[in-house]
Amino acid sequence: MFRPVERKGGTCRFPPLSRVHTMSIASRLREVRTRIAQAERRSGRTAGSVQLLAVSKTFPAAAAQQAYDAGQRLFGENRLQEALGKMPQLPADAVWHIIGPLQRNKVRKALEAGVKLIEAVESLRTAEAISRISGELGKETGVLLEVNIDNELSKHGFSPQELRAEWAQLAALPHLEIRGLMCIPAPTEEPQQSRPAFASLRLLAEELRVRGPYSLPILSMGMSHDFEVAIEEGSTEVRVGSLIFGERCYPTTGHE
């Protein structure tokens, strides 16, 4: 049975027993779900309005399967190649989102494999490619647009200014359904420090909603260390990895 790993560092993909966390994935999941419910209640959100996406990157399919057995159905992977390896190993009703940037030359593969939502569309060019390939495959593809909400130099994603400027072109793409926005705020010590970034993403979505034609129901924001603050600021989908599966053995937060 796969056990979450407690500590960072070393080759902990196949951890020795001494480094293995005693809490199972099922109980960790239960705890995360409880905290989500509490954050919903605290912030006056409807119960069940926040979806939990389990980020299984770097962990084996067996770990994702344990989450599945504990009732989890929504999974996220950063890299398409890794997702393609795991998707066939889980039951068909597991839903997979790609949460890392998807190269244009991998879009067809992702769509053919049944990826449900591409969460980190980071440029008009990528959006155009997804629309064109979706058209060729006779489908409409759901996407989220990734916003570089803190205007970090090193980060992918639309700057808010860029997104406003390109919105009309994005909204006109025929085989794309823009379902919402996602962001990864700049790293912070304290979860509270991400609050302004989360609030900005919500306000940006409200502004674009008014411009139409999309209702943008999804705000994908919040990770293991700050998901409760994100929920308080309107997140509808939190992407949680290490709290469920344990620490990863190499840094894979954000984009790699």
Ligand X SMILES: *Cc1c(COP(=O)(O)O)cnc(C)c1O
Only one of the segments 36-44, 106-114, 170-178, 246-254 lies at the binding site for ligand X (rule: CB under 6 A); that segment is 246-254
Note whether 254 binds ligand X by CB under 6 A.
yes
Note whether 60 binds ligand X by CB under 6 A.
no
Residue among 111, 127, 223, 249 that touches ligand X (CB under 6 A): 223
Only one of the segments 12-20, 30-38, 81-89, 237-245 lies at the binding site for ligand X (rule: CB under 6 A); that segment is 237-245
Note whether 240 binds ligand X by CB under 6 A.
yes
Site string for ligand X, 179-218 (x = CB under 6 A): -----x----------------------------------
Note whether 121 binds ligand X by CB under 6 A.
no
Note whether 252 binds ligand X by CB under 6 A.
yes
Note whether 78 binds ligand X by CB under 6 A.
yes
Residue 55, burial from CB neighbour count under 10 angstroms (0-12, 13-18, 19+):
buried
Note whether 64 binds ligand X by CB under 6 A.
no
Note whether 72 binds ligand X by CB under 6 A.
no
- Residue 98 to residue 83: CA distance in whole angstroms: 8
Nearer residue to ligand X within complex by CB, 68 or 245: 245
Residues that bind ligand X (CB under 6 A): 55, 57, 78, 99-100, 184, 223-224, 239-243, 252-254
